[in-house]
Chain A
Amino acid sequence: AQTVTQSQPEMSVQEAETVTLSCTYDTSESDYYLFWYKQPPSRQMILVIRQEAYKQQNATENRFSVNFQKAAKSFSLKISDSQLGDAAMYFCAYRRGNSAGNMLTFGGGTRLMVKP
């Protein structure tokens, strides 16, 4: 079974600074996708960024980027120029490729606090 581990229960960052959230996963699959979801106090789950395992290039979405290390099974999220609105729980998630039962498997989450 696939597992996703987020080793940092809490992180804090100063506004306008950069922070990196860590995630590791375990799988024997070759076709899979990795995601970061944000859960603000409203509790809504919001997709931040997605990475296809077959792509070597790291995904980027505005201030959010990932460092995908396939061999190390590592998938970290970098948030640049942190803003107060970035304060939230961040969940790393794994999903198998084209097969049945490709639900998202989530890590335990990292609470990010942004200091003004």
Chain B
Amino acid sequence: DSGVTQTPKHLITATGQRVTLRCSPRSGDLSVYWYQQSLDQGLQFLIQYYNGEERAKGNILERFSAQQFPDLHSELNLSSLELGDSALYFCASSAGGSGANVLTFGAGSRLTVL
């Protein structure tokens, strides 16, 4: 157990639908990162939050949004889902924003869009 909790572990839904993925970071970690892992795109950085504020944005589609709440958990919202959104979505956390801080990953949420 890495200490980073992601729910749900698996999710199957239809095109056009909306889903929410949830992440609880390791105790004490202030930074949360979201990554998408698909077969053709590899591991793509989506977005980073630090203590409730957006810190960096990567290749995140406009249909996707995220936030980090006061208790530091984070949610990734995916809307108007397409077949190509099927992927493994990882959340990672780190103690702070320094590059020295190691990122610890959750087990991922596997999304299948039919």
Q: Which residue numbers of A lie inside 8 Å of B, CB to CB?
A: 31-33, 35, 37, 42-47, 50, 52, 91, 95-109
User: Total contacts A to B, CB within 8 angstroms?
Assistant: 63
Residue ID in chain A nearest B108 by CB atoms: A43
Whether B108 and A101, one on each chain, are in contact in the complex, defined by CB atoms closer than 8 angstroms, is: no
Given contacts A43-B107, A43-B108, contact A104 B45 (CB under 8 A): yes
For the complex, what is the distance from the CA of A106 to the CA of B88, rounded to whole Å?
15
Given contacts A50-B102, A96-B99, A102-B98, contact A109 B56 (CB under 8 A): no
Given contacts A103-B56, A106-B42, contact A97 B105 (CB under 8 A): no
Chain A residue contacts of B18, Cβ below 8 A: none
Residue B43 interfacial (CB < 8 Å): yes
**Would you give the shortest CB distance from A64 to chain B, in whole angstroms?**
15
Chain A residue contacts of B105, Cβ below 8 A: 37, 44-46
Whether B45 and A105, one on each chain, are in contact in the complex, defined by CB atoms closer than 8 angstroms, is: yes
Whether B99 and A97, one on each chain, are in contact in the complex, defined by CB atoms closer than 8 angstroms, is: yes
Whether B99 and A43, one on each chain, are in contact in the complex, defined by CB atoms closer than 8 angstroms, is: no
Given contacts A103-B48, A103-B58, contact A45 B97 (CB under 8 A): no
Whether A33 and B45, one on each chain, are in contact in the complex, defined by CB atoms closer than 8 angstroms, is: no
Chain A residue contacts of B45, Cβ below 8 A: 103-105
